[in-house]
Amino acid sequence: RHKFWETQPVGQFKDIGDSSLTEGPIELPTPLSEVKQEPYNLPDHYEWVTCDINSEQMCEEVYNLLAHNYVEDDENMFRFKYSKEFLRWALQPPGYFRSWHIGVRVKSTKKMVAFITGIPARIRVRDEVVHMAEINFLCVHKKLRTKRLAPVMIKEVTRRVHLENMWQAAYTAGVILPTPIATCQYWHRSLNPKKLIDVGFSRLGARMTMSRTIKLYKLPESTITPGFRKMEIHDVPAVTRLIRTYLSRFAVAPDFDENDVEHWLLPKEDVIDSFLVESPETHEVTDFCSFYTLPSSILGHPSYSLLKAAYSFYNVSTVTPLLQLMNDALIVAKQKDYDVFNALDVMQNESFLRELKFGPGDGKLHYYLYNYRMRHALKPSELGLVLL
């Protein structure tokens, strides 16, 4: 059934429930000299290109490929529209490898028609910190689909990850592949219900009018928690301590150091927003919340072309109840004119989703590890990892 994935070191469906298989790497590393030194062959007329995402022109080519060909919802009403600034942030964390930003061009016209990326990350799986690649932005131009280009892209990024002496990877996908380590669900909190209904993102509830709906989702003008403020550079050590302690409770989570926190969590306009609670008495940083900005194109609507969405990233509560902290996150997202606030049911998110009027989305997000077997699937609440 899965001609490609059956050949890969991933948990196979036939092995589900086999208790003789232990948790951990499926294949051992090979000496680097045995890693294939040349790129995989592409079909005639196509060529590999290593992308320099700092080049404005290259970044624009990638941005355009994704804006027209990347992930859509099941009804093809919306398509992710990652911004160029977001792509630069997502692809250049501490220690990134330019060689893991891989494009495919048509030789004659140089048009970019496919893309895949990896970034390095330390991911803890139970007690083990594993140096992995996080794979993302796999995209094949709509006109080149179902020609088995994706497996070549995946093998090539795998080869380049191996050349850096890394042997595991983490990735998410909307499709079911062998074999998810967890299956999560998106929840959506309307901030601009009228627009969301107008564009078909949500529907008016039964026995609801537009004005009752607007009232239902109304939020206070300003945040409620005393000491709630934007994160600043001098907060990096305190936020790192807070988040490390918090993430230690999950079965799978990133192992963030101060450099990672500075990169991933320090606010960057229209890319990543982060807030914390500094106790007015002790000046201790006790709570933290963050969301990233990922708009979607609204396809074929006469009056609206962009859906402005915030995505819950990492949140930590030790003193302020998580519910109150996330309510403040909703308030700032509303102030900043987002239409919707999205969150997965990972970590402790289930504790606030219903109460804060998030509704379940359709479609699932599956989490995967490459060359690392898990004995059982995890519950979403055991996952401490959010990929972009």
State yes or no: residue 250 binds ligand YNC (CB under 6 A): no
- Tell me the window of 63-71, 211-219, 269-277, 378-386 that interacts with ligand YNC (CB under 6 A): 63-71
Size of the site for ligand YNC (CB under 6 A): 35
Whose CA is closest to 293, among 220, 155, 162, 388?
A: 388
Q: Does 249 bind ligand YNC (CB under 6 A)?
A: no
Nearest-10 crossing angle of helices 236-247, 258-265: 100
| Smallest gap from residue 114 Cβ to Mg ion (A) | 8
Q: By CB under 6 A, is residue 161 in contact with ligand YNC? A: yes
Question: Would residue 388 show up in a list of annotated catalytic residues for this protein?
Answer: yes
CB nearer to Mg ion: pick between 146 and 303: 146
* CA–CA separation, 368 and 181 (whole Å): 5
Question: Under rule CB under 6 A, which residues in 64-83 are in contact with ligand YNC?
Answer: 69-71
Query: Which is nearer to ligand YNC, 59 or 130 (by Cβ)?
Result: 130
* Residue 100 DSSP label: G
Dig out the tokens for 301 from the structure: 């609507």
The 8-class DSSP code of residue 231 comes to -
Cis peptide before 172 (omega within 30 of 0): no
List 91, 247, 353, 388, catalytic entry: 388
176-215: which residues touch ligand YNC (CB under 6 A)?
Answer: 177
Nearest Cα to Cα of residue 178 among 344, 345, 377, 20: 377
Query: What's the one-letter identity of residue 272?
Result: I
- Provide φ and ψ at 321, rounded to 5°: -55, 140
Query: Cα separation of 184 and 383, whole Å?
Result: 9
Using the rule CB under 6 A, give the single segment among 135-143, 215-223, 314-322, 333-341 that binds ligand YNC: 135-143
Structure tokens, 70:
């990347």
* Site for ligand YNC contains 139 (CB under 6 A): yes
123 sits near ligand YNC (criterion: CB under 6 A)? no
Which of ligand YNC, Mg ion, none does residue 154 bind to, with CB < 5 to 8 Å depending on kind?
Answer: ligand YNC
Can you tell me the distance from the alpha carbon of 329 to that of 233, in angstroms, rounded to the nearest whole number? 20
- Any idea which residues carry the catalytic annotation? 388
Residues in contact with ligand YNC by the rule CB under 6 A: 2-5, 69-71, 133, 135-140, 145-151, 154, 157-158, 161, 166-169, 171, 173, 175, 177, 370-371
